[in-house]
Structure 1
């Protein structure tokens, strides 16, 4: 049916093999922020406009990252497991095994766009020191205490109690969180990924967690989704996973519709620039 469509609102299920059949298509409004599933070359060759939903869930994803961080430091997954076992855990004498506070921690936020900037703001509200990494540090701190370039990641990781990935998946960021970066993390640190699974070297992540090289990892994304049943990540006790739901809130669709309506209005008026324009 795509052959009769002028406008398509597309999910992450978009397939580029639809493009040759889209004879009338003028505009695609994606409902996601990530654009890696779209062939810009094919769409551009046919003059098809494309806009993302970037920023529509920035607050939600940042809040989810904070929720994951709190869950780890307050040991909520363990508490839930104990509840199901009807176990009332007493106070722990070993201080290293107790719940912890996040005030005073240092969080390294990798990607200081909309999500990263909001996460930095939330982190500061909780009393954390925030170091930001972005492609172009000259664009400013955006709420972080200091800002650095992507090439400084491995140098900065040892300073962080929390390393949080919030960047887009691009050729530059694919595998950015490398084996060397994981090896540089403090043993007491926490790794959080609310970006895209492939921003991290997943094999290196698995080896890091299997070897208990860092305290914990909290993942909303994985390299392959759904996560294959054979993945060791499912059963590692120091890994907490949510199924790519960070941005999936009750307000999501309404927020996307606002972008769609604005872009349709711009197109009908003949304006050249779209909101969240990709093509």
Structure 2
């Protein structure tokens, strides 16, 4: 990100670090910090001049917002920068399961030419007419809904405040209606933030309400799911499959059953990583820097 920013000729002196130790060493001179995974709140003790943090990520759970407010440090999130990427990734995970692309890749690596499947239930599936339930219909969830609609699916969206509108979904409900709609779902997609309300939202009880042929897609956070209950359901065939970009512990431990389950497609929390990601973050950063220099309180994606 530093070479891209420097090439724009802002005149601002920059430094780039890749370890927590280097970040702690650089912080005493920093007025502005662009960060996500390296941040830990004890770093505040090393940052006497810090006035603004631009989070690279959409999530901001890692930041002590009360401490920031007390210190007069502004915080803005990266919300929206990965809307296209994550929504497309969710659809890709769904298609990988529906069209059995991961199995095809495994067969290719093993040089196996699969014979014609005489059992229709062993074949790939089609999406038109199927029901997708999306938990979290913000920017990402709404775009997932639009793509699913283009695939002739019916979409039920769940959001904390249904009064904000249904967007591209056919129907909008409250998070509290999750268990009422799960029996209808052919595909369940999580694209919600991790909050007290959504922690372990998909638990054993919720999974028990899903169809045996249902797919589960998670591009939200691993903490939104009771992972042990999900693994049990996948192992026992109580749901058909899962496409997971996030897990409860990351990196995923080597002994996790998720690595070897044939009905699971895993990606390493990479849904938002594209060639345009840094450019999208810099767009927010530059707009917010202009506003800060002008004394404007209304930052883009302001958190604190």
Report the TM range for the smaller structure's normalisation.
Answer: over 0.9
- TM-fit CA distance, 1:15: 0.9
- Alignment-derived partner of residue 245 in structure 2: 220
Q: Distance in 2 between matches of 1:215 and 1:76?
A: 15
Give structure 2 stretches of 5+ with no counterpart.
1-25
- TM-fit CA distance, 1:155: 1.1
- Alignment-derived partner of residue 272 in structure 1: 297
Residue 155 of structure 2 is aligned to residue 138 of structure 1: no
Per-residue CA deviations over 1:187-230 (Å, capped at 9, x if unaligned) read 00000000011011111111111211100001000011100111
- Alignment-derived partner of residue 163 in structure 1: 188
- TM-fit CA distance, 1:275: 0.1
What is the TM-score when the length of structure 2 is the normalising length? 0.91
- TM-fit CA distance, 1:11: 2.2
Q: Distance in 1 between matches of 2:36 and 2:61?
A: 12
Q: Distance in 2 between matches of 1:207 and 1:65?
A: 22
| Secondary structure of 1:109 counterpart | strand
- Alignment-derived partner of residue 14 in structure 1: 39
Which of 81, 86, 89 is residue 106 of structure 2 equivalent to? 81
Q: Distance in 2 between matches of 1:255 and 1:264?
A: 15
Query: Where do 1:51-200 residues align within 5 Å?
Result: 51-200=76-225
Which of 227, 230, 249 is residue 202 of structure 1 equivalent to? 227
- TM-fit CA distance, 1:235: 1.0
Runs ≥4 in structure 1, deviation > 4 angstroms?
Answer: none
- TM-fit CA distance, 1:248: 0.4
Q: Distance in 1 between matches of 2:264 and 2:31?
A: 45
For these two proteins, the number of residue pairs brought into alignment is: 279
| Secondary structure of 2:59 counterpart | coil
| Secondary structure of 2:216 counterpart | strand
| Secondary structure of 1:29 counterpart | strand
Q: Which moved further from structure 2: 3-12 or 183-192? A: 3-12
Q: Distance in 1 between matches of 2:289 and 2:64?
A: 22
What is the TM-score when the length of structure 1 is the normalising length? 0.99
Which of 277, 281, 285 is residue 252 of structure 1 equivalent to? 277
Which of 37, 44, 55 is residue 62 of structure 2 equivalent to? 37
Residue 84 of structure 2 is aligned to residue 50 of structure 1: no
Q: Distance in 1 between matches of 2:62 and 2:231?
A: 26
- TM-fit CA distance, 1:168: 0.7
| Secondary structure of 1:132 counterpart | strand
| Secondary structure of 1:260 counterpart | helix
Q: Distance in 1 between matches of 2:217 and 2:144?
A: 12
Q: Distance in 2 between matches of 1:179 and 1:87?
A: 36
